[in-house]
């Protein structure tokens, strides 16, 4: 009989349990494995492990799977601190020792920069304690039985919280017993979404747990390239290069970086798509000017000038049009804050085509127990 011409995707089915050897970590926190030549992205694993995994999706190009049993464990594997880890979609690195989490993130950042931008980065992912209890904003959901919980991985199913609550939620943040309920909408008819009540004017839709990054961004922009940033606010203020300069804070949210730049003496203009966030920013940083609307459109329409540009785009990145518009302003320095190394790399490549080089790049482990990290790239004209 002739050999079968079916592909691995046609032979494998969702729900199949297969034995896999996990290779390198990939963007998104999954390990790469191969099943009869087809790429499989596997969650809850570690590079070098041999595991048994259940296929959760199968496509023509790749499949996805979740570890059900570890046959040969990595030395970096630990017991997750949360009993619902692996089912809840919030913390995908709880099975990894904290130092190893940072190493995996370093590999991903370095790989994306090399592959997509041709940049060699030999830095480290800097620790930002604490490992648990750091998240100050939570969105809880309710099961049909009325128990508070969080969404499962890549599903709308709600995983009930353990008795001790979410391990990464800050102790001082309101728990599900102190938040209000509202209708979840058509997609989750019959469920209730539980949200934290924010303090008016304190945080908006894009506020975050990142004050240290805001200070670091201001210090890095104040320092000449190649020099270590100052240890505190006083030194940054004395070096004072930003003082009297014009700064643009793009995707400014509620004014986190605008406030740091204004404190350094800059004349600041912030741009943000959310009108609600802009209203918060105007209250938080009254000495700055804020515009609500599309960043790309306002950069084209407004007659803006800038010595310093800071941008903190969403996960999709800024894109080539915004990068081109920034370069046209000819700022002396650009600070790019990113939560996604792939889109960061693409935008850095675009900046390179417009005459800007990467003077420094740091990466911070702001989201322990997850695959996410935050990068700060400082760009200067060649």
Residues 6+ apart with CB under 8 A from 252: 258, 270, 271, 272, 277, 278, 281, 290, 312
The verdict on whether 339 is a catalytic residue reads yes
The three state secondary structure string of 159-196 is: EECCCCCCCCECCCCCCHHHCEEEECCHHHCCCEEEEC
The rounded distance, in Å, linking the Cα atoms of 227 and 109 is: 22
Own/partner contacts of 356-359, CB < 8 Å, gap of 24 or more, are: 356/327, 356/380, 356/381, 356/382, 357/381, 357/382, 358/119, 359/225, 359/226, 359/333
Q: Does residue 250 have a cis peptide bond before it, meaning omega lies within 30 degrees of 0?
A: no
User: Which residue is catalytic, options 91, 252, 339, 375?
Assistant: 339
What is the C-alpha separation between 130 and 209, in angstroms, rounded? 12
Assign 208 to helix, strand or coil: coil
**Sign, Cα dihedral of 44, 30, 94, 370:** negative
Catalytically active residues, by annotation: 339
């Amino acid at each position: 009989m002739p050999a079968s011409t079916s592909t691995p995707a046609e032979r494998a089915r969702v729900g199949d349990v297969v034995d896999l050897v996990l290779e390198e970590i990939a963007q998104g926190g999954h390990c790469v494995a191969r099943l009869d030549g087809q790429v499989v992205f596997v969650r809850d694993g570690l590079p070098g492990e041999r595991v048994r995994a259940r296929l959760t999706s199968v496509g023509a190009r790749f499949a996805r799977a979740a570890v059900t049993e570890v046959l040969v464990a990595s030395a970096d594997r630990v017991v997750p601190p949360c009993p619902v880890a692996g089912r809840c979609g919030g913390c995908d690195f709880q099975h990894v020792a904290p130092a190893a989490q940072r190493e995996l993130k370093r590999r991903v950042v370095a790989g994306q920069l090399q592959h997509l931008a041709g940049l060699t980065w030999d830095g480290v992912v800097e620790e930002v304690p604490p490992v648990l209890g750091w998240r100050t904003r939570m969105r809880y959901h309710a099961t049909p039985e009325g128990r508070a919980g969080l969404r499962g991985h890549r599903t709308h199913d709600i995983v009930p919280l353990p008795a001790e609550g979410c391990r990464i939620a800050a102790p001082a943040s309101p728990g599900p017993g102190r938040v209000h309920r509202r209708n979840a909408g058509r997609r989750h008819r019959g469920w209730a979404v539980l949200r934290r009540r924010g303090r008016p004017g304190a945080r908006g839709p894009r506020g975050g747990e990142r004050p240290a990054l805001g200070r670091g961004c201001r210090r890095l922009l104040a320092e000449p390239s190649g020099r270590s940033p100052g240890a505190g606010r006083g030194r940054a203020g004395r070096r004072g290069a930003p003082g009297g300069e014009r700064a643009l804070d793009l995707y400014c949210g509620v004014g986190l970086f605008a406030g740091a730049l204004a404190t350094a003496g800059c004349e600041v203009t912030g741009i943000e798509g959310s009108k609600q966030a802009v209203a918060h920013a105007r209250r938080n940083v009254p000495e700055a000017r804020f515009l609500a609307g599309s960043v790309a459109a306002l950069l084209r329409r407004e007659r803006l000038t800038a010595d310093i540009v800071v941008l903190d785009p969403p996960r999709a990145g800024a894109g080539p049009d915004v990068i081109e518009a920034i370069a046209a302003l000819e700022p002396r320095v650009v600070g790019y804050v990113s939560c996604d190394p792939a889109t960061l790399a693409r935008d850095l490549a675009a900046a390179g085509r417009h005459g800007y080089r990467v003077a420094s790049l740091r990466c911070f482990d702001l989201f322990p127990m997850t695959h996410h990290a935050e990068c700060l790239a400082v760009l200067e004209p060649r």
